[in-house]
């Protein structure tokens, strides 16, 4: 797979094109984003198993999102069977689960690298929380390791970003898919910078507007209620923008149909 190098403003175009793709079948993408949000909510209240399973399934969810977006772009109706169709190809689901497990191991390894040099400070801060009920020392102790982890995580995310589609649609071995994904993201690092900044501004704007409405008299319960569907719509557009990013980096035209078989 040959990834092209795009100008920085392509990052914003991915967001814009994601919105245009969402508008083709808004209810289908809204329902999918709501489903993912519910699964994430369940995972967050069932640690440690829930978050672990959610992370392992992330590559699978990514491929399902991309496949549905491809169907919508081609003018096909996104039905229930559309979501699971990519997993019917031989060996795809197994390799995606393997990728998810590798993702978990990478996260644990990066966390170890980031926090081990500061383990003594963090331990002392935890003791301060239990004895003095003071969170400030803990927040100060984890600030530096969290910053290190964030940088390492961004680098890891680039390696995994396009890998599910390369594995699921093109039967590329996982190690090669991870390599191609990392190269593609590096070649488009400035576009991804604009892309990430755009989404940060969008979600901050949503929160700011709703907070302003609360300040001028809107009940907090009503503000929280309308924030949920707004965030779900934003998440749905985000998932659509994954697809617009992929096709612009790897194709000069819409992605072809995936292969009907996949190597074990």
Cα 97 from Cα 99, distance rounded (Å): 5
pLDDT of residue 1: 64
Arithmetic mean of pLDDT, 83-106: 90
- The encoded tokens of residue 106 equal 């990478």
pLDDT of residue 130: 77
Arithmetic mean of pLDDT, 225-240: 93
Share of the chain above pLDDT 90, in %: 66
Arithmetic mean of pLDDT, 83-88: 81
ω into 48 cis (within 30 of 0)? yes
Q: What is the tens place of the pLDDT at every residue in 12-60?
A: 999 999 999 999 999 999 999 999 999 999 999 998 899 999 999 999 9
127 phi/psi in degrees, rounded to 5 = -65, -35
pLDDT, mean over the chain? 89
pLDDT of residue 263: 38
Residue reference for tokens 């600030």: 143
The Cα-based distances of 22 to 35, 40, 129, 183 in angstroms read 16, 21, 46, 28
Q: What is the tens place of the pLDDT at every residue in 126-177?
A: 877 777 776 787 888 889 999 999 999 999 999 999 999 999 998 899 999 9
Buried b (16+ CB within 10 A) or exposed e, 57-83: bbbbbbbbbbbbbbbbbeeeebeeebb
């Amino acid at each position: 797979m040959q990834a092209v190098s795009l100008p920085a403003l392509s990052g914003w175009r991915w967001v814009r094109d994601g919105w245009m793709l969402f508008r083709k079948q808004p209810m289908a993408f809204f329902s999918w984003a709501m489903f993912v949000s519910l699964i994430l909510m369940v995972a967050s209240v069932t640690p440690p198993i829930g978050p672990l399973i959610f992370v392992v399934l992330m590559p699978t969810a990514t491929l399902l999102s991309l496949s549905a977006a491809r169907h919508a772009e081609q003018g096909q109706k996104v039905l229930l069977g559309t979501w699971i169709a990519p997993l019917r190809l031989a060996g795809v689901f197994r390799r995606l689960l393997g990728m998810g497990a590798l993702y978990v191991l990478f996260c644990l390894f990066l966390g170890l690298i980031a926090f081990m040099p500061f383990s003594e400070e963090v331990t002392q801060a935890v003791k301060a929380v239990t004895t003095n009920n003071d969170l400030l020392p803990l927040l100060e102790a984890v600030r530096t390791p969290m910053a290190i982890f964030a940088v390492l995580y961004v680098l890891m995310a680039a390696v995994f970003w396009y890998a599910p589609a390369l594995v699921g649609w093109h039967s590329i071995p996982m190690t090669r898919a991870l390599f191609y994904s990392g190269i593609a993201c590096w070649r488009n690092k400035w576009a991804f910078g604009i892309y990430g900044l755009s989404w940060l501004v969008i979600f901050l704007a949503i929160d700011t507007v709703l907070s302003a409405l609360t300040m001028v008299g809107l009940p907090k319960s009503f503000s929280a209620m309308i924030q949920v569907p707004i965030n779900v719509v934003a998440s749905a557009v985000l998932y659509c923008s994954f697809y617009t990013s992929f096709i612009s980096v790897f194709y000069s035209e819409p992605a072809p149909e995936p292969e009907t078989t996949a190597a074990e």
